[in-house]
Amino acid sequence: MHRFFTTEIQPNTAVVRGDDVKHIARVLRLRAGDAVQLCDGNGRECDAVIRSVSSDAVVFQTEPWRAAETEPCVSITLFQCLPKAGKMETIIQKCVELGACGFVPVQSERCVVVLKPPYEGRIERWQRVSEEAAKQSRRGIIPKVLPPIALDKLDFSGYDTVFAAYENEHTVSLKTALREHCGTRIAIVIGPEGGFSDTEIETLVHKGARTVSLGTRILRTETAGMAMTAQILYEVEP
């Protein structure tokens, strides 16, 4: 069943506008009476039937709203040090599919890319990638992409656990750390292509992060976040 996001919701009624209207009418060729699923982008979904289709809006008759069944039991936010051009889109897309709930681009010492304000255009592009991936993977939310922040300005006070992937951590694996302590709000921190400096690791640890190993092989920056997200959800989900 086709699935669409909307925030224009009233009792027993919802409206979809924007690019999805063209997709519904011209690509999928849905008409009045066809059934779909709607999601409010905040973890609720419902079954709905198209009531009318016009050039700028599709109106739906909605059934009772319920909690989305596709969201993981933990919330994972990826703090990703800025990779080379094009990789951030892939990281966001795949991590949304896997179940990540938010993204924070991080400027670190060894980042090849240096973002300078204004950030709005880049953030809008990354947010569109997140939304499209959320639609494709039938997510109950559209994960948010926040503005870039310097590593030394990070604040992990809202998280139960913070894991920083570190190639020089040879004692504590992610699996071991997860089994010792997890919580429901998890932050994962991934370095850039050149990795973290010693000073940055000290800063992260001082801020409450725990360094973990992802195994004996060194992963690319665009692979590490996906691997950590998948491993965490495999470990904690029923």
Do both 129 and 218 map to the same domain? Answer: yes
Report CA torsion sign: 56, 62, 64, 67: negative
Do both 147 and 38 map to the same domain? Answer: no
Do both 156 and 206 map to the same domain? Answer: yes
Do both 61 and 81 map to the same domain? Answer: no
CATH number of the domain within which 32 lies: 2.40.240.20
**What backbone phi and psi angles, to 5 degrees, belong to 90?**
-65, -45
Alpha helices for 137-213 (secondary structure H): 174-180, 198-206
Q: What is the mean pLDDT of residues 152-164?
A: 97
**67, 90, 107 - which closes a domain:** 67
**pLDDT at 192 > cutoff 90:** yes
Overall domain count for the chain: 2
Per-residue pLDDT reduced to its tens digit, 197-214: 999 999 999 999 999 999
pLDDT score recorded for residue 66: 96
Do both 89 and 36 map to the same domain? Answer: no
Do both 62 and 79 map to the same domain? Answer: no
Q: Do the beta carbons of residue 221 and residue 81 sit within 8 Å?
A: yes
Secondary structure class of 8 (helix, strand, coil): strand
What is the per-residue burial (b if ≥16 Cβ within 10 Å, else e) of 81-101?
A: bbbeeebbbebbbbbbbbbbb
Q: What is the mean pLDDT of residues 149-157?
A: 97
Do both 7 and 89 map to the same domain? Answer: no
**pLDDT at 86 > cutoff 90:** no
Rounded mean pLDDT of the chain? 95
- Confidence class of residue 25 from pLDDT cuts 50, 70 and 90? very high
Do both 104 and 31 map to the same domain? Answer: no
Distances (CA, A) of 160 to 76, 169, 181, 182, 195: 11, 21, 9, 7, 24
Do both 198 and 82 map to the same domain? Answer: yes
- Confidence class of residue 117 from pLDDT cuts 50, 70 and 90? confident
pLDDT score recorded for residue 181: 80
CATH number of the domain within which 165 lies: 3.40.1280.10
Cβ count near 203 (within 10 Å) = 16
Do both 126 and 206 map to the same domain? Answer: yes
Do both 166 and 208 map to the same domain? Answer: yes
- Confidence class of residue 15 from pLDDT cuts 50, 70 and 90? very high
pLDDT score recorded for residue 158: 94
Q: What is the mean pLDDT of residues 218-227?
A: 96
Question: Rounded distance, CA 223 to CA 165, Å?
Answer: 11
Q: What is the mean pLDDT of residues 84-101?
A: 96
pLDDT score recorded for residue 85: 82
From the list 133, 101, 122, 98, the residue with the least C-alpha distance to 5 is: 133
From the list 106, 117, 84, the residue with the least C-alpha distance to 207 is: 106
Q: pTM value?
A: 0.92
Cα 104 to chain center, whole Å? 9
Do both 87 and 177 map to the same domain? Answer: yes
For 18, the domain range is 3-67
Q: What is the mean pLDDT of residues 156-178?
A: 96
